[in-house]
Amino acid sequence: MINLTIKFSSEYEVERIKWTLGDLQWYEDNGYGPKFPKSLKIRPCANISEDQIKESVNSEYSEDDFKIQERYLLDNWHRVIDEASAELEKTSLRSVDMYTVYLTKYGVGGSYNYPHSVVVNIKSKYEKGLLRTVFHEIIHLMIHPWIIEHKVSHWQKERIVDLLTTKFVPQISRAQEIRANIIEPVDRIFNEHYPNIELVIKNVGRHLAIPDKLCYKIKQIR
């Protein structure tokens, strides 16, 4: 059983914004639109102080908003695992018993912090979308060492995770919009080697090396 522990706080929201600002250029280059507090004006080369970030977070922070989403996740997570467990057992993937889920209102829709924590944006994802994003990010954690080892590009990695999510939890899965020149070769390799996920990733890295903007760094919660 994959269990979840849920965390949220205004202090974490401040750190989330600082972290997102630090990676802002990468997000923009890869077509993401991170969310920020309404009162925080994000402009190119803007010098935003930590006091400004804290003030903007405190003006919007409501613990009740997070508690509602926490309750939904904890009440419904077992259904996701029940649906996924049989297919997961066919694969070479291994999970830990407990993952930490940080709830936020800022940044992108979801992200992961190796080895066992994920972040999900409750302003971007609701109910099934919340469950799907948590599961999606946990899959990222499971395959992360192979992604690094075989130098798989960001969007190739995202397609692999979408395909796995569809295999494991088809009732809540939804694929991202990814270019056809990524989807078609990754799908071919996936269908050829599934359920050996390490072999899928190895062959994507070996045969589909492309000059894409790569995402190898391990994201850290600060």
Mean pLDDT (whole number) for 19-46: 88
Looking at the chain, the whole-number percentage of residues with pLDDT higher than 70 is 93
The residue with greater pLDDT, 43 or 183, is 183
Check residue 215 and give its pLDDT.
40
The band of 50, judged by pLDDT with boundaries at 50, 70 and 90, is: very high
Burial of 97 (0-12, 13-18, 19+ CB in 10 A): exposed
Name the pTM for this structure.
0.91
Residue 4 DSSP SS3 = strand
Mean pLDDT (whole number) for 36-48: 83
Tokens of 103: 């709830």
Check residue 43 and give its pLDDT.
74
Q: How far is CA 124 from CA 36, 62, 107, 117, 209, in A?
A: 12, 16, 10, 19, 32
